[in-house]
Amino acid sequence: MRLSRYFMPILKENPKEAEIVSHRLMLRTGMVRQQSQGIYSWLPLGKRVLDKVNAIIREEQNRAGAIELLMPTLQSAELWQESGRYEAYGKEMLRIKDRQERPMLYGPTNEEMVTDIFRSYIKSYKNLPLNLYHIQLKFRDEIRPRFGTMRSREFLMKDAYSFDLNKEDAVHSYNKMFAAYLRTFDRLGLRAIPMRADTGPIGGNHSHEFIILAETGESEVFSHRDFVNFDIPGEDTNFDDVAGMQAIFDKWTSVYAATSEMHDAAAFDAIPDSDRLSARGIEVGHIFYFGTKYSEPMGAKVQGPDGKEHLVHMGSYGIGPTRLVPAIIEASHDENGIIWPESVAPFDVVVINMKPGDEACDRLSENLYATLGNAGKDVLYDDTDDRAGTKFATADLIGVPVQIIVGPRSAAVGEVEVKVRRTGAREVMTLEAALNRITG
Ligand code: ATP
Ligand code: MG
């Protein structure tokens, strides 16, 4: 992408409305624009990051055996009347009428709709287990939308829904999502801690919020420090291995971790002082086993091996991609701007041409741009006439992991400077060495 032809509206001033660093940086770098309260457009730079986050979520959902579909944002009120939630949901639900005066709503979640899909097609235990997910916009008329896309009214959610014959199988489905979440957040460069969450009338211990630690987080969290060193399940993890999945769950729930809602002060105080972690956190995911809560009122049953009808046991598993993007920024930035983990960076590398019009600068820059692009890298080429200082500041601000600086003096002898955004380390090398460094 040539910056001169791109749409990346960088703001010079810090936007006044932004209270936290991720919101400020997302506005300054032109990643998002608020269209009305808590409703955002994702501008090109932001869209690139969001797509990369979604791609990782998708890969890990698929790896764990979940199957993607796409359900609509608008839902008929009828389904929600069946489950009893139409009345119960309250003011967070945006209720709409179509031209025939039929009550509709903008989905805040999809349990009812996915249960309807399930009951329409699946009649036998032989088709279980099943886990269906989508990545789709939700609307919740939050009383206090704030911090940009961290808590917005319209937001993206990956929501998966598992269906099993009985509780035992449903627990395995739960454990698979648990492990998939550990992998997902790790690949996003985050250390997320699963914390026991309220299960309400369902009971049991199968509800976890995945929380990343950040000073600006809205949740108060208490945990054991050991989480920092726990191993993440590897790529070769066998998600069909029931005992293996259970072992991962057991390990990751073996030490204390809770949000303030579930906090047990006595249990926390029993942890040695130096291992106690009391901090603030951001909820980036939430998984929940809820048994027959929806299958019962909505009649989602399958024939079991015993020939009898069984209500299916369900769980739901949410991740918020549009919250994850600011969460990653909260976890990874410095005074000059964002520092993207490589896995979600909008571009892999930025080529900074210090003097467009200079024969050597243009030749080397164009060569880098073409060669790296052909090697499958996402390259931003700063070919603008901006001052050097502006170019450096922009590159740091948008947080691309590697910068290649092409200045007239070194270009004349075939050399460029490579700067690593995270460490600030700079090194002068030949064009070939720079290409090898990035593609090697
Ligand atoms: P919160 O407690 O933060 O309001 P929640 O518990 O209502 O969230 P869930 O219903 O568990 O949210 O939704 C699953 C995921 O969707 C959350 O873990 C979060 O990542 C994301 N999410 C929920 N509400 C919002 C929002 N208003 N803006 C952005 N992301 C959200
Ligand atoms: Mg939640």
Q: Residue 352 pairs with which residues in a beta bridge?
A: 382, 405
376, two tokens: 């499958």
* 8 A C-beta contact, residue 133 and residue 69: yes
Could you give the C-alpha distances from 202 to 314, 327, 374, 425, in angstroms and in order?
12, 30, 54, 53
Q: Which of 387, 388, 384 is nearest to 357 (CA)?
A: 384
Split into its structural domains, the chain has a count of 2
CATH number at residue 383: 3.40.50.800
Residue 344 lies in a domain: no
| pLDDT of amino acid 102 | 97
Q: Whose CA is nearest to atom 26 of ligand 1?
A: 151
How far is the C-alpha of 368 from the C-alpha of 432, rounded, in Å?
A: 9
Which amino acid residue places its CA nearest to atom 14 of ligand 1? Answer: 318
Same domain, 378 and 413: yes
Domain check: are 277 and 168 in the same one? yes
One pLDDT digit (tens) per residue for the chain, 440 residues:
999 999 999 999 999 989 999 999 999 999 999 999 999 999 999 999 999 999 999 999 999 999 999 999 999 999 999 999 999 999 999 999 999 999 999 999 999 999 999 999 999 999 999 999 999 999 999 999 999 999 999 999 999 999 999 999 999 999 999 999 999 999 999 999 999 998 887 777 899 999 999 888 999 999 999 988 899 999 999 999 999 999 999 999 999 999 999 999 999 999 999 999 999 999 999 999 999 999 999 999 999 999 999 999 999 999 999 999 999 999 999 999 999 999 999 999 999 999 999 999 999 999 999 999 999 999 999 999 999 999 999 999 999 999 999 999 999 999 999 999 999 999 999 999 999 999 98
Do 286 and 358 lie in a common domain?
Answer: no
CA nearest ligand 1 atom 24, residue: 151
pLDDT for 234 equals: 97
Q: How far is the CA of 210 from the centre of ligand 2 (A)?
A: 9
pLDDT of residue 440: 83
Residue 325 CA, ligand 1 centroid: distance in Å:
14
Ligand 1 contacts (CB < 6 A) are 140, 142, 151-152, 155, 157, 283-286, 318-320, 322-323
Q: Say if pTM beats, i.e. exceeds, 0.95.
A: yes
> Which pLDDT score is estimated for 204?
79
Probe target for ligand 1 pocket from 286, 316, 319, 322, with the most ligand atoms within 8 Å of CB: 286
Distance CA 379, CA 362 (A): 15
- 248 and 382 housed in the same domain: no
The reported pLDDT for the residue numbered 199 is 86
Closest CA to 321 of 196, 93, 159, 113: 159
Q: Is residue 343 part of a domain?
A: no
- If you ran DSSP here, which 8-state letter would residue 7 be given? -
Which residue range(s) make up the domain with 363? 349-439
